[in-house]
Homo-oligomer: A and B are copies of this chain.
Amino acid sequence: MTNQHETQARVSAEALRGPAVDGTATRTEPLRRDIPQASVARLAVYLRALGVLSDDGRPIVSSEELATAAGVGSATLRKDLSFLGPNGVRGVGYDVERLRTRIEGVLGLDQGHRVILAGVGNLGRALAGYHGFQRRGFAMVGLFDTAPAVIGRTVAGLRVRDMASLAHAASALAPTVAVLTVPDAVAQQVCDQLVAVGVRCILSFVQAPVTVPAGVELRRVDLAMELQLLSFSTSRNQDGAVAQ
């Protein structure tokens, strides 16, 4: 859903926790823990708010203030952070830089990401040059297409490569994420190619449903559906019910 109706995917966070500080392991039970999908999504929101605080030079922030900045309740924030283990100091608050680093680690952002994009059409071109990606640590490293008219052209500072060279190029580019912006008709086939060369994370903007094998994560952004959901709110508002 954006998007969309995800089932409650829960995720092991054991290893994310890092090595236990306490070697004696007094408590053995709660080693394995899951982070609800909704909490993970909010972690990304907190990260953004922490970035702003960091730019302002704020060293410490309370759950109350950070929660307000993120638009959630402080109880929700503390509950979310508790999934990552202790992060703050009672009576004081959270160290902005430390919490930021922690969340980045949990979200797997600490190594940075190398992104390739398949399908350099209208949308693909825009995403190739989208500064929002770079700003958050996602570097676009390769563009691929099958159309001879597009191959070889330079888009967003990168030369568009032939899709046929994907296997060879991928070993050098070592992509960690792929963006899929190809036409519906070839989406599944291109997706299969991406999986075949080792991509394990795909962000799809294709309307048609695309399936991936277990172990590969596919996330779908459906722009038209976003408009449809907006549309629902409108029709509601027009029907006399007052927005609160």
Contacts and interface: CB of A to CB of B under 8 A. Distances in A.
B219 A226 contact: yes
Interface string A216-239: 110101011111111111111111
B5 A2 contact: no
Contact of A14 (B14, B203, B241): B241
Nearest to A209: B71
Contact of A201 (B72, B106, B234): B234
A50 to B, nearest CB: 13
A217 to B, nearest CB: 4
A14 to B, nearest CB: 7
Interface stretch (A108-116, A146-154, A159-167, A190-198): A108-116
Contact of A1 (B45, B130, B214, B224): B45
Interface size class of chain A, counting residues whose CB lies under 8 Å from the partner chain: 35 or more
A12 B236 contact: yes
Contacts of A15: 239-241
Q: Which of A40, A235, A237 has the most CB of B within 10 A?
A: A235
A21 interface: no
A223 B133 contact: yes
A110 B244 CA distance: 25
Interface in A101-139: 106-109, 113, 115, 122-123, 125-127, 129-130, 132-133, 135-136, 138
A189 interface: no
Contact of A203 (B115, B226, B242): B226
A84 to B, nearest CB: 12
The 10 closest A-B pairs by CB, nearest first: A2-B2, A108-B235, A2-B3, A126-B126, A15-B239, A12-B241, A217-B233, A3-B3, A136-B224, A108-B231
30 contacts: A1-B3, A3-B221, A4-B44, A14-B239, A15-B239, A15-B240, A15-B241, A40-B232, A44-B225, A48-B207, A106-B232, A107-B229, A108-B232, A108-B238, A113-B227, A122-B125, A125-B126, A132-B224, A133-B224, A133-B227, A135-B207, A136-B228, A138-B224, A201-B233, A202-B230, A203-B226, A203-B227, A217-B237, A219-B230, A221-B221
